[in-house]
Amino acid sequence: MAAAPSPSVPACSDLPAAVSAFADAFVDFAVSGIFFPTFPSSSSPPPRPKTPTTFLPSLSRLVAIGDLHGDLPKSLSALRLAGLVPPSCTPDSPSASSSWAAGPTLAVQLGDILDRGGDELRLLYLLRRLSLSAESRGGAFLPILGNHEVMNVSGDFRFATPQGFQEFSAWAGWYRAGLAIKRRCGEHLDPQPRNPFLGVPKSFPGVKPEFWDGMRSRLAALRPDGPIARRFLADLPTVLVVGDSVFVHGGLLEANVEYGLERINAEVSEWIRGEGGDNARAPEYVRGRDAVVWLRRFSDGFDCDCKRLEGVLGMIPGAKRMVMGHTIQTVGINAVCSAQAVRVDVGLSRGCGNGLPEVLEINAGGTDVRVITTPPSEAWMYRKQEVEKAAAAVAEKSVEVKDGLALLVRESHGLKEVGVKA
């Protein structure tokens, strides 16, 4: 029988909140190298809204950044280019990289943080910490959801990379360690820590066994109500209107506006929080070819249906332009339809084009719009890397190269979504 703790030694019953906070900070730092701010109970910040924000007034400076796809160094290049983080920030200095340097700027990231790269979790942590830093300094940093976030919450990992699976495997190890720390307090913790790995398959037919742990970890983290999905994705909007600019990953059609932009944001958020159950399908308006995160009608090519776009924008009071990601623009950020359709996905990630970083800047309430491009000295570095990559590809031209999950599975064509047991 265990002896009762000495009155001079604090027990878990006295410190459950502190133990839980320590465990969370321990996991955060182990995974990302970032400490999140802690607040005394008397000065706790207001909780993040349960339903994502849909409409915001524009600040004096508005910035848009396209798809990031798991590439931390290139993402930091874009953040530096926009002046959102200090010029000296690097992937090796995560604390400096998450320090807001842009004052009263509102920055929107157009989704697709996940897939195609190996820095997905580090990016999610960095962007959330940057968002908190921006709030404390009079600015705002707001990512929105892309089709790859929706795919991952649905258990569709076709575009995940081996490095991405390894990153989630490492996260799972640290997360389990954090759970073990919390369980030392037993019944004194309220709420009790939930084990996200319960009900998740341990084997995946068709996938090489060495990747099973990565698959299981990714599924536990990103399924509806998974700890990463709930913390980093559930409160992100699918559509965001800032002043006269509409931000959406794929695009909007008339039916989307009629259904209600706030309603779309609320329903997608509820799905990610698991309110429909672990295996609930994604809401209709983020599934399918014409879904708001999949649409390419206004972002693919230069012969767009401008009249239809004008009609869609006319349904949103005050809207003058739709800013989209999703479709890689090999010519860089550009606009069509009298600048009513602005396309900002430059294929930045090394796993998806390795394009030169560019960002869109909107000043003076929408009257001054410009593109900030990579300086020539930095552009030379990227072009040199592309030449070296092409030379390596020629040297290995006899080897079949597969992307994403195709690298891991024997027959991937039938692999769509992975379910979990309730």
Position 10 pLDDT exceeds 60: no
In 3-state terms, what secondary structure has residue 402?
coil
Cα angle value 353/323/78 (rounded, 5°): 45
CA distance 1 to 72: 51
pLDDT band, residue 391 (cuts 50/70/90): low
Q: What DSSP character marks residue 413?
A: T
Query: What CATH number does residue 270 fall under?
Result: 3.60.21.10
Specify the number of domains making up the chain.
Answer: 1
DSSP 53-118: P-EE---SEEEEE---TT-HHHHHHHHHHTTSS-TT--TT-HHHHTS--SSSEEEEE-S--SSSSS
Domain range for residue 354? 55-155+225-386
217 burial level (CB within 10 Å; 0-12, 13-18, 19+): buried
Position 2 pLDDT exceeds 70: no
Sheet containing strand 334-336, strands side by side: 55-56, 239-242, 245-248, 321-324, 341-343, 334-336
Choice among 283-297, 326-340, 404-418 with the minimum mean pLDDT:
404-418
Query: Within a domain: residue 318?
Result: yes
CA distance 292 to 271: 16
pLDDT in tens, 28-41: 999 999 988 765 44
Query: Within a domain: residue 50?
Result: no
Position 421 pLDDT exceeds 70: no
pLDDT mean over 207-223: 95
Q: Which residue has the tokens 């004008």?
A: 310
The reported pLDDT for the residue numbered 388 is 63
Query: Within a domain: residue 30?
Result: no
103, two tokens: 């004052």
pLDDT band, residue 50 (cuts 50/70/90): confident
Position 272 pLDDT exceeds 50: yes
The reported pLDDT for the residue numbered 5 is 53
Contact 96, 85 (CB under 8 A): yes
pLDDT mean over 132-157: 96
Query: Within a domain: residue 258?
Result: yes
Position 102 pLDDT exceeds 50: yes
When comparing pLDDT for 299 and 51, which is higher? 299
Query: Within a domain: residue 299?
Result: yes
Q: What share of the chain in percent tops pLDDT 90?
A: 65
pLDDT in tens, 161-171: 999 999 999 99
pLDDT band, residue 414 (cuts 50/70/90): very low
pLDDT mean over 343-355: 94
**Non-local CB neighbours of 398 within 8 Å, separated by 6+ positions:** none
The reported pLDDT for the residue numbered 375 is 86
pLDDT band, residue 263 (cuts 50/70/90): very high
Query: Within a domain: residue 220?
Result: no
Average pLDDT of the chain?
A: 86
pLDDT mean over 79-94: 88
Cα angle value 246/252/254 (rounded, 5°): 115
The reported pLDDT for the residue numbered 159 is 96
pTM, 2 dp: 0.86
- CB environment 108-122: b (16+ within 10 A), e (fewer): bbbbbbbbbbbbbbb
pLDDT in tens, 188-211: 666 777 899 999 999 999 899 999
Position 58 pLDDT exceeds 90: no
The reported pLDDT for the residue numbered 176 is 95
pLDDT band, residue 383 (cuts 50/70/90): low
Contact 82, 344 (CB under 8 A): no
**Which residues does the annotation mark as catalytic?**
148
Query: Within a domain: residue 173?
Result: no
Query: Within a domain: residue 184?
Result: no
